[in-house]
Amino acid sequence: MKAPDLVPVSLEVNGIRFEGDVEPRKTLADFLREELGFTGVNLGCEHGVCGACSVLLDGAVVRSCILLAVQADGCKITTIEGLAREEKLHPIQQAFLDHHALQCGFCTPGMVLAAVDLLKRSPHPTEIQIREALSGNLCMCTGYVNIVRAVSAAAERIQTAEKP
Amino acid sequence: MKPAPFHYYRARSLQEALDLLSGPAANGKLLAGGQSLIPLMNLRLARPEALIDLNNIPGLSSIRSAGAEIRIGALTRHREMEFSALLAKELPLLAEAIPQIGHPAIRNRGTLGGSLAHADPAAELPCVLTALDARMVATAPDGERVIRAEDFFTGFYATALADNEILKEVRIPLDRRPAGWGFVEFARRHGDFALAEASVLLFADDAGDRCTSARVVVGGSVERPVRVGGVEKLIQGEISLNTQASSLAHVLQRVEQLTETEIQSSIAGGENPDYLCHLTGVLARRALESAMERWRKA
Amino acid sequence: MKNAQWKGQALHPREDRRFVTGRGLYLPNLSFPKMLHAAILRSIHPHARIVSIDVAEALKIPGVVCALTGEQARALSKPLRPLIPLPVETPYYCLAYEKVRYVGEPVVAVAAVSRYVAEDALEKIRVEYEPLPAVVDPEAAMKPGAPLLFEPLGTNILWHDRFTYGDVDGVFSRAAHVFSERFFIHRYSSTPLETFGCIASYDNSRRYLTLWTNDQRPGQAMPILAHSLGLSITQIRFITADIGGGFGNKRKPPYLVLAALLSRLSGRPVQFIEDRRENLMALVHACNGVMELEVAVGEAGRLLGVRVRDIADEGLNVLNPTVHSLLKLGNVTNCYEIGAVGFEGYSVMTNKCPSGANRGIGKPFMCLALERMLDNIARRLGRDRIELRRQNLVPPELMPYTTPTGELIDSGNFPETLNKLLALIGYESFRKEQEKARFQGRWLGLGLALAIEPSTSNQSSYILTSGRRNASGAGEAAMVRVESDGSVQVVLGDVGSGQGHQTAAAQIVADELGVGFEAVQVSPYFDSLVSPWLYTTGNYSNKFAGTDVGAIQGAAKKVGEKLLSLAAHLLEASAEELELAEGAVRSKKDPNIRKTLQELAQVAYRDLLALPAEMEPGLEGRCYYRAALADLPDEQRRVRGQLFVSNAGHAAVVEVDIDTGRVSILKYAIVHDCGTVLNPVIVEGLVHGATAHGIGAALYEEFVYDEQGQPLNTTFVDYLKPTAVEVPDFKTDHLESPSPYTPLGMKGVGEGGAIPAPAAIANAVENALEPLGVRLSDLPLTPERVWRAIHSAKKKS
């Protein structure tokens, strides 16, 4: 059995279906950025440490720089660009704005998506839980203080919104 | 930082994966979570000619109890283990260690089998599974075999798996319930690999107040998880629920010192391993303290 | 300015919105038709002769378009101009020529259709090296017989000088006490999350280069680029994108030249973006070094004099050494009134990554040494460390205060900063807490550090080290234009990298022109065809407060004056009777008598015959602003190296785990004073972030080289940045001591926290371990280092 040079891939990104052939070694991050134009996926290290490239794969946060595009076959991906509903920001995005939880913004897409993953699992996180969950996302600008405040505020807002 | 080219095979069954491993992808590597492999490939420190993607093989990801053991499929993601009520109930030592593996994004992809086959001595699972006396079920073209954890990890990033073998399942015995357990890790930052780690299990007699045996396994700056037999014997002889605080303090001190001594030949720590030996001793003590604490509470 | 409606407002930076939705226009997000991607083959030896280079096999790979070697670079470009002229020429090109001098030095570059293919090509390039002995330690590099990076130079010492201010020898010989100690600083770097890069598009047909980059100093990069490529500045269009963090690191003219040459050779746009490994190995490290510090103290605890012998390890930095040294010199007396200063400095080359600008540049080390020394002095004299500091602080009454080296501390209330800091950290109650904790077997410590945080570099200071007057003063440029529909456009020369410039500038202009904040648009990007700029244009030394504000306000004022003039003409009133308010020019007496900005613009742009005879059409103001206070070095070699001095006090409560050596920060307090606060949200964010950098340097970050000169940590796996778990929450408070010399009284804030943080933490750890008599010497305070210090102290006792 000879492996083809290109591998067929079928996936959904931010609600858009894509089907095509991809080089096996192309990382999911590069595929999302270059083939599909989702440049909100940032490259900060390309060895799976900084978290800047984080996306949601079938709802769970993953590092797209250490995933091959071919591995995302059949999956649903959400990048930062797919989080907001047109002009309406996701509560976490809004909270980041409200608390100035960013400066240069480069870590922000990954940080927001990591927070999305956290709040899905733990809707009422304590400060230490927030810090631990986000410890896989490096920020060089903010010192994290405002980020933690934003996620805390977002958790509250989401809870309040979901109360009957 | 882009990987070198390789052939990619998407295995749809374990048999297909085995065939590939023996045939066209003989010089290839198995791809499970990829959380350790792909960074190495991006850095071009690893350049496999082929990758066999195991992620689409059905039936390799599950957590279930089967008689007197827990069986976990090799492709089970860390995250699934992290949130498993079954594991929390039956294997609390494992449940304590898993949240310390990397970060959520890593745990969303990383697999049990991948971690074990990678055999990084500074990772959590090799240490904990050795303490739990886990058995690894490996499958090869000519059949299956069971390898005990103590025999499975053979050295630095090395296992007993043959080149054509694939880890299929991990089985953890439940015949003896520990009276107390503790897992402690020391890393520079949250989520980093362990400079030192220790797993301790205490088993008690039927009355429940005397320690009949212990399992003490350390990891971190060693080549493979190390069972500290001398410390296990020490604990066995000396610890009970009724041990006086001052005697207990003395035992803990000895546990620390004995671990520090026993680990010396196994430490891979550059020019000055004394700190790492000492650290491992401290962690063994702390894991034991944690196990004692749980024993008392129960 | 009459209106001060927007000054001081806690407006959240409007730029945040595009970042939070993933629409940042960072350099890696730009793409052009037929664009190629470059990759660089780098030296694997710390020191070696290049014997031969063979790219033939690499060029055969499909998709590889061209390759460039150092020899070709030498033929196609002029050497990059060094800041300090050396007695012998040390030509430096974008690629290594004849020799490599550090692991990671660029040797060959290729351009291919993708970065993947370019990296494939690198593997096929054959370079033959003849390894040479390398020198890694700066003191070893200074010794005769050390391997020389540039043999013709005959030495690795790029610069050595002595500065004497006041009767230093006399003071030291007469002093009641002289304390001396050796301090070390390690290599670290701010590592912005986005790496450095550029896209060069060279049009061979008209000899024109268009360059997109995240370089943070366009004003300096342009002339360097032009000179190297043999172009005039009019033949380059230099455009910046959104910059994903700068902190001083985003500057590397050789990479710009490299991409331009590849573009010239290939006839296509060429993108080069360093990956993280290249970034950590070869972009820039803060100098490591050794400092011998001596302090002369009077009987009553007065600090009388300071003597420094400082050796700065610059790695391979022939292009701009001595920057760290000059800033240490300027900060040597910190917040204290110390009358005599002796400073002997060395800038030394070793076979390591080039040094360069990094948050703090030298000031963190100077602060570390002096603040650690003060704790030591207090201990040895049996004095309280707070009172020792307090008695020596420059009091507010003496301001503006000129230090012996010529720095002007223009404003600040240091005693009050100290008081607020002590209250914020809970100093009074800590002693009891500490005793109680020790009783429980816990080792808590409290340490603090005070720091001046000067901003706005005066280019004249380099005259002291270079001996030539390449540039002087400090300045920035801005343009403000009321558009034909009455909206307001601002273009600033300076680029931002997260400091909220777009918002801050809008606040200033809105106040100046009496318009709403929303009516003002600030361009986030530098474009050399559009932005007014000077050599000093760029984002460095926290100069926004010192120069940008003046330029923005100046430009707005010019437009404002024109608006008043035009309105006066149209309303047949005198300009003095009119004011700018609520988007219009109106009569002070009767607000209904007004002309909106839109109506005025209608005339200025369209109804030209309605203009006064002598008035030009249009409503644009440009201001090329020169900062006050900048001076030239005098005969005593005193100079204001950086202007407009902010200050801060940091205090940390730490816990040391004696068994493992781990240091945890339990509480961290910051009191800062950056003068007038234009936007408290932006200021607070910058204070947090800079402090986090200092914590990283104190506890986690260190670039390590082995004895052979091999870098040992070149990924984020083992170069450890603090995460959300390691950085604590910060308690902050502030003072406002406005500068009398800046238009709004603002002073710099971006860099500040990085300066006192390492000292505060080191002092806290020593305080925790005081009963054990532990003395720390090396940062970062890794668990192993702390444990060894405890261990060896225990052995001694």
CATH number, domain containing residue B211: 3.30.390.50
C contacts of B40 (beta carbons < 8 Å):
none
Instruction: Tell me which residues of chain B, numbers 186 to 225, contact chain C at a CB-CB cutoff of 8 Å.
Output: 186, 188-192, 195
Q: What percent of chain C has pLDDT over 90?
A: 95
Is C734 within the bounds of a domain?
yes
Q: Which residues contact A102 (CB under 8 A, 6 or more apart)?
A: A96, A108, A111, A141, A142, A146, A147, C16, C19, C20, C498
Say how many domains are in chain B. 3
Is B244 within the bounds of a domain?
yes
User: Do C643 and C531 share a structural domain?
Assistant: no
Q: Which residues contact B94 (CB under 8 A, 6 or more apart)?
A: B81, B87, B128, B129, B132, B172
For B33, which residue in chain A has the nearest alpha carbon? A67
For A5, which residue in chain B has the nearest alpha carbon? B7
Is the CA virtual torsion C549, C552, C555, C557 positive or negative?
Answer: negative
A16 and chain C: CB distance < 8 Å anywhere?
no
Range of the domain at C640: 288-394+409-460+632-796
Q: Over chain B, what is the mean pLDDT?
A: 94
Q: Which amino acid is at A128?
A: I
| Beta carbons of C510 and C6 less than 8 angstroms apart | yes
A contacts of C275 (beta carbons < 8 Å):
46
Looking at the complex, report in whole angstroms how far the Cα of residue A104 sits from the nearest Cα belonging to chain B.
23
Looking at residue C85, its pLDDT comes to 82
User: Do C217 and C247 share a structural domain?
Assistant: yes
Instruction: Tell me which residues of chain A, numbers 40 to 69, contact chain C at a CB-CB cutoff of 8 Å.
Output: 40-47, 49-50, 52
Looking at the complex, report in whole angstroms how far the Cα of residue C725 sits from the nearest Cα belonging to chain B.
7
- Using the beta-carbon criterion (under 8 Å), do B4 and A7 form an inter-chain contact? no
- Using the beta-carbon criterion (under 8 Å), do B186 and C660 form an inter-chain contact? yes
Count of residues in chain B: 298
Is B95 within the bounds of a domain?
yes
C795 and chain B: CB distance < 8 Å anywhere?
no
Is C180 within the bounds of a domain?
no
- Domains in chain A, ordered, with CATH? 7-82 (3.10.20.30), 91-162 (1.10.150.120)
H helices within B119-206, ranges in order? 124-131, 149-152
User: Do B291 and B188 share a structural domain?
Assistant: yes
- Using the beta-carbon criterion (under 8 Å), do A66 and B23 form an inter-chain contact? no
Q: Which amino acid is at B83?
A: F
B43 and chain C: CB distance < 8 Å anywhere?
yes
What count of other Cβ atoms lies within 10 Å of the Cβ of residue B60?
Answer: 23
Last residue of a domain, one of C608, C626, C644: C626
User: Do C345 and C269 share a structural domain?
Assistant: no
Is C14 within the bounds of a domain?
no
Alpha carbon B136 to its chain centroid, in Å, reads 11
Looking at residue C797, its pLDDT comes to 73
Q: Does the structure show a pLDDT above 60 at C593?
A: yes
A126 and chain C: CB distance < 8 Å anywhere?
no
User: Do C443 and C494 share a structural domain?
Assistant: no
Q: Which residues contact C779 (CB under 8 A, 6 or more apart)?
A: C184, C185, C186, C368, C697, C698, C702, C758, C762
Looking at the complex, report in whole angstroms how far the Cα of residue C659 sits from the nearest Cα belonging to chain B.
7
User: Do C339 and C431 share a structural domain?
Assistant: yes
CATH number at residue B121: 3.30.465.10
Residue holding tokens 């206070």? C629
User: Do C303 and C243 share a structural domain?
Assistant: no
Model pLDDT for residues C402-426, shown as the tens digit of each residue: 999 999 999 999 999 999 999 999 9
What is the rounded distance in angstroms from the CA atom of residue B25 to the CA atom of residue B47? Answer: 13
User: Do B101 and B43 share a structural domain?
Assistant: no
For C727, which residue in chain A has the nearest alpha carbon? A143
- Using the beta-carbon criterion (under 8 Å), do A25 and C116 form an inter-chain contact? yes
Strands A76-78 and A54-57: antiparallel
C28 and chain B: CB distance < 8 Å anywhere?
no
Strands C106-112 and C36-42: antiparallel
Looking at residue C559, its pLDDT comes to 98
Q: Does the structure show a pLDDT above 60 at B262?
A: yes
Model pLDDT for residues C370-398, shown as the tens digit of each residue: 999 999 999 999 999 999 999 999 999 99
For C699, which residue in chain B has the nearest alpha carbon? B188
What is the rounded distance in angstroms from the CA atom of residue C428 to the CA atom of residue C446? Answer: 11
| Beta carbons of C568 and C594 less than 8 angstroms apart | no
> Mean pLDDT over residues C585-612, rounded?
96
Estimate the crossing angle of helix B245-262 against helix B229-238, to 10 degrees. Answer: 170
Looking at residue B298, its pLDDT comes to 81
Which contiguous run of DSSP H or E holds residue C475? Answer: strand C475-482
Is B29 within the bounds of a domain?
yes
User: Do B289 and B185 share a structural domain?
Assistant: yes
- Using the beta-carbon criterion (under 8 Å), do A68 and B38 form an inter-chain contact? yes
User: Do C619 and C638 share a structural domain?
Assistant: no
> Mean pLDDT over residues A94-112, rounded?
97
Count of alpha carbons within 13 Å of B90, Cβ hemisphere only? Answer: 22
Instruction: Note the ipTM here.
Output: 0.97
Q: Is the peptide bond before C152 cis (omega within 30 degrees of 0)?
A: no
User: Do C607 and C590 share a structural domain?
Assistant: yes
Q: Between the CA atoms of A100, A106, A111 and A116, what dihedral angle is there, to the nearest 10 degrees?
A: 90
Is C187 within the bounds of a domain?
no
**Closest to A83 (Cα-Cα) out of A74, A75, A92:** A92
Is C753 within the bounds of a domain?
yes
Q: Does the structure show a pLDDT above 80 at B270?
A: no
For C32, which residue in chain A has the nearest alpha carbon? A34
User: Do B69 and B169 share a structural domain?
Assistant: yes
CB pairs under 8 A between A and B: 102
Is residue C2 very low, low, confident or very high in pLDDT (cuts 50, 70, 90)?
A: low
Is B58 within the bounds of a domain?
no
Is B60 within the bounds of a domain?
no
A128 and chain B: CB distance < 8 Å anywhere?
no
C577 and chain A: CB distance < 8 Å anywhere?
no
CA distances from residue C243 to B18, C12, C316 in whole angstroms, order as listed: 49, 19, 26
Q: Which residues contact C645 (CB under 8 A, 6 or more apart)?
A: C407, C408, C409, C410, C411, C412, C452, C453, C454, C455, C739, C747
Is B101 within the bounds of a domain?
yes
Q: What tokens does C676 get?
A: 């007038």
Last residue of a domain, one of B146, B173, B200: B173
B contacts of A119 (beta carbons < 8 Å):
none
What is the rounded distance in angstroms from the CA atom of residue C639 to the CA atom of residue C646? Answer: 18
| Beta carbons of B37 and B31 less than 8 angstroms apart | yes
Q: Between the CA atoms of C521, C527, C529 and C531, what dihedral angle is there, to the nearest 10 degrees?
A: 50
Is residue B161 very low, low, confident or very high in pLDDT (cuts 50, 70, 90)?
A: very high
User: Do C639 and C589 share a structural domain?
Assistant: no
User: Do C667 and C791 share a structural domain?
Assistant: yes
Range of the domain at B190: 180-297
- Using the beta-carbon criterion (under 8 Å), do B1 and A47 form an inter-chain contact? yes
CATH number at residue C52: 3.90.1170.50
CA distances from residue C660 to B188, B218, B292, C164, C789 in whole angstroms, order as listed: 11, 16, 21, 45, 12
What count of other Cβ atoms lies within 10 Å of the Cβ of residue C251?
Answer: 27
What is the rounded distance in angstroms from the CA atom of residue C173 to the CA atom of residue C304? Answer: 11
H helices within C593-649, ranges in order? 597-605
User: Do B215 and B168 share a structural domain?
Assistant: no
**Closest to C705 (Cα-Cα) out of C716, C718, C693:** C718
A6 and chain B: CB distance < 8 Å anywhere?
no
- Using the beta-carbon criterion (under 8 Å), do A135 and C725 form an inter-chain contact? yes
Last residue of a domain, one of C601, C626, C651: C626
Q: What tokens does C327 get?
A: 């800033």
Strands A60-63 and A54-57: antiparallel
Residue holding tokens 């610069």? C159
Q: Does the structure show a pLDDT above 70 at C20?
A: yes
Is C139 within the bounds of a domain?
no
Last residue of a domain, one of C563, C595, C626: C626
Q: pTM above the 0.90 mark?
A: yes
Is C425 within the bounds of a domain?
yes
| Beta carbons of C352 and C317 less than 8 angstroms apart | no
Question: What backbone torsions phi and psi does residue C492 show, to the nearest 5 degrees?
Answer: -105, 140
Looking at residue A40, its pLDDT comes to 97
B92 and chain A: CB distance < 8 Å anywhere?
no
User: Do B276 and B231 share a structural domain?
Assistant: yes
CA distances from residue C477 to C491, C492, C535, C538 in whole angstroms, order as listed: 9, 6, 10, 10
For A85, which residue in chain C has the nearest alpha carbon? C21
Q: Over chain C, what is the mean pLDDT?
A: 96
Environment class of residue C56 by beta-carbon count within 10 Å: exposed (0-12), middle (13-18) or buried (19+)?
A: exposed
User: Do C257 and C227 share a structural domain?
Assistant: yes
Alpha carbon C195 to its chain centroid, in Å, reads 16
Strands C157-165 and C340-348: antiparallel
For A103, which residue in chain C has the nearest alpha carbon? C498
B contacts of C119 (beta carbons < 8 Å):
1-2, 4, 44
Looking at residue A1, its pLDDT comes to 43
User: Do C621 and C733 share a structural domain?
Assistant: no
Is B2 within the bounds of a domain?
no
Instruction: Tell me which residues of chain B, numbers 257 to 286, contact chain A at a CB-CB cutoff of 8 Å.
Output: none
> Mean pLDDT over residues B52-75, rounded?
96
Residue holding tokens 């959380």? B35
User: Do B236 and B139 share a structural domain?
Assistant: no
CATH number at residue C427: 3.30.365.10
What count of other Cβ atoms lies within 10 Å of the Cβ of residue C173?
Answer: 10
Say how many domains are in chain C. 3
Q: Which of A1, A66, A68 has the CB atom closest to B24's CB atom?
A: A1
Looking at residue C1, its pLDDT comes to 44
A contacts of C727 (beta carbons < 8 Å):
143-145
Is C60 within the bounds of a domain?
yes
Q: Which of C120, C123, C723 has the CB atom closest to B189's CB atom?
A: C723
Is B1 within the bounds of a domain?
no
User: Do B240 and B287 share a structural domain?
Assistant: yes
Instruction: Tell me which residues of chain C, numbers 269 to 288, contact chain A at a CB-CB cutoff of 8 Å.
Output: 275-276
What is the rounded distance in angstroms from the CA atom of residue C691 to the CA atom of residue C343? Answer: 28
Q: What tokens does B270 get?
A: 């550059």
What is the rounded distance in angstroms from the CA atom of residue C169 to the CA atom of residue C342? Answer: 9
Q: Which amino acid is at A109?
A: P
Q: Does the structure show a pLDDT above 60 at C348?
A: yes
User: Do B235 and B169 share a structural domain?
Assistant: no
